[in-house]
Chain A
Amino acid sequence: MDTFSAVAQYALVALTAENLMFCLTGVFIGTLVGVLPGLGPVGAISLLLPVTFQLQPASAIILLAGIYYGAQYGGSTTSILIRIPGEASSVITCLDGYKMALKGRAGAALGISAIGSFIGGTFAVVGLMLLAPPLSKLAIAFGPPEYFALLVLGLLLLAFLGTGSRSKAGIMAVVGLMIGTVGVDMTTGERRFTAGSLSLMDGISMALLAIGIFGLGEIISTIADRSRGMRDVIKTKISNLLPNSEEWRRSIGPIGRGTILGFALGILPGGGAVISSFASYAIEKRRSKHPEQFGEGAIEGVAGPETANNAATAGAFIPLLSLGLPANAVMAILLGALQIHGVQPGPLFLNQHPDLFWAIIVSMYVGNVMLLVLNLPLVGIWVQLLRVPYDLLFPLIITFAVIGTFSLSGSTADLVIMGIAGLAGYWFQKLSYDPAPLIFGVVLSPLLENAFRQSLILSDGSIGIFLERPIALTFLIVAILSFTSVIWWPLVERLRATRSAAR
């Protein structure tokens, strides 16, 4: 069955009234968390994860994915109007978006941001639709050694392409892998690191850690640093959401380039949406005939990055759906959510669950249209929401976190573990440890260990199996090169500098 017949056959799953409602709910919540302070898409998805356990897998993922790409839209609103990025991927939009707002062009900045996001998001979904199936077919040939090498490569890229210190990212990934080993070993039935506690027999739930670290941890940080909740919303009236003809002319190129760049970088593990928005800004500034206007309200500085970060969100679904490899923290949580529903994303996902695969993709088309409607005509409502004080929001967040955690297993112990995770999340922020690799580690730990043990059993104990299989060897070479790049890359740079100086 070709791609388009598959879309036609399974589109109906996404287009049921129930799933359309979940899609609308997801993108609405996503825009809301993008706009409101104190909770990003990772936290919101973590909090709502337990609620989705009662839903069909397609409905659950449609809802959670909607929050993810909806937050990218909402995040730009705060960047433009109050120079506080709702999301890390909207940081760069603060530079020119806010300056445009100060010059009375807030409407045009919000408009081009929503339109660019729509175009980037929609075209990237087409790319996802065309690329994921052939990649899945290629990956079907993977055995345990290839899968182990791929997971090692994925973990290293996730840890090292993200923002911040590589050592810290590596430490967090390994701590996550270790947390993933807690509980009963599925092969031998042996209890590992449970300290005699019955509640740890099933391991430490990824959902519990995510709620604690991203939800409660954020609340503790905001309470500790009260200035974080304060925001000064721009007072100018927002009108003329459609850019003028000159602004359109200047935006077309950045939107086109942002789509391609965002999609390509989104596929790579490790903060694709963030990296792509910065890369898009750098490219547009370099290409511009008036680079001095960047930082002073250049519309290219809004159109390019906002398009790129939305295109990256769709690109991030490719490694998840075709290889079972999450590209960022949200994808790791979605992977965990699918596993809880008994669905394992990876090479066989498209064959085993075509309805689910295509329903997710079709819902993303529909979700992007919904977001355009939500974000352009209703922008005034989102602006009003920016004025809601944090003191009214945090009790809602904390109550959702507690209900979500308690509903996982009805256990007081889970509430205590969530509290410990929250405190850890606070310290991770203070000590600049990115918690995303930890969540990847927890989710990937059982898969990595199984692939490792199966490979050793297959080869009768020979580590050489990872070197004899070309695909596994290639993955491991790339992994080693990325791991050691901190050593060899400065040497290459120095050599290059010496050569150019000699010339």
Chain B
Amino acid sequence: MTPSDDKDRCSGVLVLAIATAMIPWSLTLPIGTVNSPGPGLFPLILAVLLAVLSVGLIVEQVRGGFNTKLIVEIVREEGAQVAVFCALYFAYALTFERVGFLLSTGIFLILVYVLVLRKGIVAAIACAVFVTVPIYWIFDRLLSVSLPAGLLG
């Protein structure tokens, strides 16, 4: 059994779960008739097709048995970095409009440099300012792409 086989089985089960959830969701929409198909028919066909393909993916590797070791390894090796980055990103995304482009982007980049990339605070501030200010000037002033001013507005 190859390492990718392990991952295939896990992801195949996940896709099957999604497909299984999509079938009843599609059925909540009007299916219509064959000569006048409704908005639910196409998604229903796709959900069934997805279920069939995911079963195919699981069956392809069925002899090896289930093993989640590799996914666990990925999560253990990279999970912390990815989780911190994603937490910072979603906090940034949710405060982007209210806090404004300059402040939110600057703070986000400083935090990523310090917490994820393990850089010194001075270098982090320098990089964040070096990126944020010129980009704001180019997009907001030069190209007239309206970026939120937020707390600085």
Q: Give A contacts to B, CB under 8 Å.
A: 51, 165, 167-168, 170-171, 174-175, 177-178, 181, 185, 187-188, 190, 192-193, 216, 220, 223-225, 391-392, 395-396, 398-400, 402-403, 406-407, 410, 412, 415-416, 418-419, 422-423, 426, 430-433, 449, 452-453, 456-457, 459-463
Contacts and interface: CB of A to CB of B under 8 A. Distances in A.
B43 A192 contact: yes
Interface of B: 4, 7-8, 11-12, 15, 18, 22, 25, 29-30, 33-43, 46-47, 49-50, 53-54, 56-57, 60, 74, 78, 81-82, 85-86, 89-90, 92-94, 96-97, 101, 105, 109, 112-113, 116-117, 119, 127-128, 131-132, 135, 139, 143, 145-148
Chain A's interface: helix, strand, loop or mixed, by majority? helix
B30 A433 contact: no
Contact of A403 (B12, B34, B86, B145): B145
Contacts of A457: 35-37
Contact of B57 (A168, A181, A415): A168
23 contacts: A167-B53, A168-B8, A168-B57, A171-B50, A171-B53, A178-B22, A178-B43, A178-B50, A185-B39, A190-B39, A192-B29, A391-B117, A391-B127, A395-B127, A400-B135, A403-B101, A403-B139, A406-B148, A430-B7, A453-B41, A456-B34, A456-B35, A460-B35
A424 to B, nearest CB: 11
A382 B8 CA distance: 39
Given A165-B8, A396-B131, A459-B35, 14 more contacts: A167-B53, A167-B60, A170-B53, A171-B57, A174-B46, A175-B50, A223-B81, A396-B135, A399-B105, A399-B135, A402-B92, A415-B93, A433-B11, A452-B37
A181 B42 contact: yes
A74 B74 CA distance: 32
B93 A178 contact: no
Contacts of A168: 8, 11, 57
Nearest first, the 8 closest Cβ-Cβ pairs linking A and B are A461-B35, A461-B34, A415-B93, A224-B78, A185-B39, A167-B57, A190-B39, A395-B131
Contact of A181 (B43, B109, B112, B135): B43
